[in-house]
Amino acid sequence: MPFTLTDEQHAIRRAARDFAENEIAPVAREYDENFTYPRDVIETAAQHDFAARTVPAEYGGAGMDVTSSVVVTEELWRADPGIANAIDGVAFATNVSLLERYGDEWMREEWFPKFVSADALAAIAISEPGHGSDIGGIETRAEQDGDEWVLNGAKTWISNGTKADVVIVVAKTDSGEGHRGLSCFLVPTETDGYEAERIENKLGLHASDLADVHLDDMTVPAANLVGEENRGFYHLMDVLAPGRVEVAAQAVGTAQAALDAAISYATQREQFNRPISEFQAIRHSIAEMETAVEAARSLTYRAAARCDEGANDATRIASAAKLFASERAVEVADDAVQIHGGAGYVTDFPAERYYRDARALPIFEGTSEIQKNVIAKGLL
Ligand SMILES: Cc1cc2nc3c(=O)[nH]c(=O)nc-3n(C[C@H](O)[C@H](O)[C@H](O)COP(=O)(O)OP(=O)(O)OC[C@H]3O[C@@H](n4cnc5c(N)ncnc54)[C@H](O)[C@@H]3O)c2cc1C
């Protein structure tokens, strides 16, 4: 099926690229080296409608569809994955889709406008020390006590865990039922019993926040249940596709950045009295990188369009896009380091940063292996 962007989406791309080149790229290296959380850039992003960009217009948002949001994602990540990850984390597509589809009206009215202005930040806490891919094994418990729920447990790898104002927590509400006994809760982080500790020793995405979270007798009103009790797993599965397409777009942006860096270096660096871009080995490597980026981009935009159409195969194609684009990003970033030679191994050039940042992409929002399981299940 042919796919083209609308005039409006081309305009969104130009605006996102301007913003990314002016506000993100100049501070990318500094924020990475100092592990600086980019609160200032996030605020500017919000002024340009790039934070929480899928929030519907009735709550003050830009109301971008998946395709338009993916255009923005690609451009932000091309400028710097770490800062872009923090901007995406204001209210990642999965959180917005979950609240849009299954949340109560008061949740959207209270939180969506604050996400749009970046006055409030969100997170989603699914993963635990003992259960990552195996969501059904989640041990965090939520027990009903009159008009309240009491939550206890430990979560890990939570993006925005120490920065978020509100977190969607996935907890077990029926001990015997595996993934059929999970529920989602909207939890303001100022609630007593919420504690988050920043994970400092990560490989890449230094400018964004990652945390361990502990819930200790944390009590929220019964009204904070998102959707139906014991249906949380199914609610999440219903909204994962746009989030996975977003990660595919993050991968396309990262791979494009690595390709840009490789071309720039290859045309400047001279060996044997000529630019290394004149050697066939380097030219072929760049040609293969470009082919991988374009193929990943095509699949990503096709998956975004399938999400926007509400197509039956959107989940499967979103997983295929996430799988393919994230693995290509790792390969292209690796090729970019190789083209830089020794200069690819130090922070003087951005190639090493892209190499570190890209490595998260085949892991979060469901690993490559889990995407393959989803694709096979959809077909078989
Ligand atoms: C930077 C970053 C940000 C993250 N942000 C969040 C967040 O905001 N919220 C959140 O909840 N989580 C987040 N995560 C966690 C992420 O979703 C998990 O790391 C991921 O789901 C894998 O879980 P795990 O780390 O426990 O690995 P495991 O599930 O233990 O997997 C280990 C290995 O076994 C493989 N494996 C497991 N099960 C199967 C299977 N059935 N078939 C084949 N292979 C299998 C995996 O693919 C992987 O290769 C983040 C992770 C990272 C790195």
55-76 pLDDT, tens digit per residue, is 999 999 999 999 999 999 999 9
Q: Is the CB of 169 under 6 A from ligand 1?
A: no
Task: For residue 32, report the distance from its CA to the centre of ligand 1, in Å.
Answer: 23
Q: Whose CA is nearest to atom 23 of ligand 1?
A: 132
Q: What is the mean pLDDT of residues 266-271?
A: 98
Q: Is the CB of 183 under 6 A from ligand 1?
A: no
Q: What is the Cβ-side half-sphere exposure of residue 91, based on CA atoms within 13 angstroms? A: 34
State which of 200, 363, 373 you would mutate to test the pocket of ligand 1, scoring each by most atoms of that ligand within 8 A of its C-beta: 363
CA–CA separation, 336 and 201 (whole Å): 24
Domain range list for the chain = 7-116, 122-230, 233-379
| Tokens 């015997």 found at | 176
Region of 366 (left: φ > 0; alpha: ψ -120 to 50; beta: rest) is left
What's the pLDDT at 94?
87
pLDDT band of 3, cuts 50, 70, 90: confident
Q: Is the CB of 136 under 6 A from ligand 1?
A: no
Say whether pLDDT at 27 is over 80.
yes
pLDDT in tens, 241-255: 999 999 999 999 999
CATH class name, domain 7-116 = mainly alpha
Q: Is the CB of 158 under 6 A from ligand 1?
A: yes
Task: For residue 84, report the distance from its CA to the centre of ligand 1, in Å.
Answer: 21
- Answer yes or no: CATH 1.20.140.10 is held by domain 233-379: yes
Q: What is the CATH number of domain 122-230?
A: 2.40.110.10
CA–CA separation, 306 and 286 (whole Å): 30
Task: For residue 157, report the distance from its CA to the centre of ligand 1, in Å.
Answer: 9
The C-alpha R_g of the chain, in whole angstroms, comes to 21
Query: Hey, which residues are catalytic here?
Result: 365
What's the pLDDT at 2?
57
Say whether pLDDT at 176 is over 80.
no
Task: For residue 26, report the distance from its CA to the centre of ligand 1, in Å.
Answer: 32
Q: What is the mean pLDDT of residues 162-187?
A: 93
Q: Is the CB of 360 under 6 A from ligand 1?
A: yes
Evaluated on CA atoms 179, 180, 181, 184, the torsion sign reads positive
- C-alpha distances (whole Å) from 6 to each of 11, 51, 249, 305, 310 are 9, 21, 18, 12, 18
Which of 309, 368, 362 is CA-nearest to residue 67?
309
Q: Is the CB of 92 under 6 A from ligand 1?
A: no
Contact (CB, 8 A) for 124 and 154: no
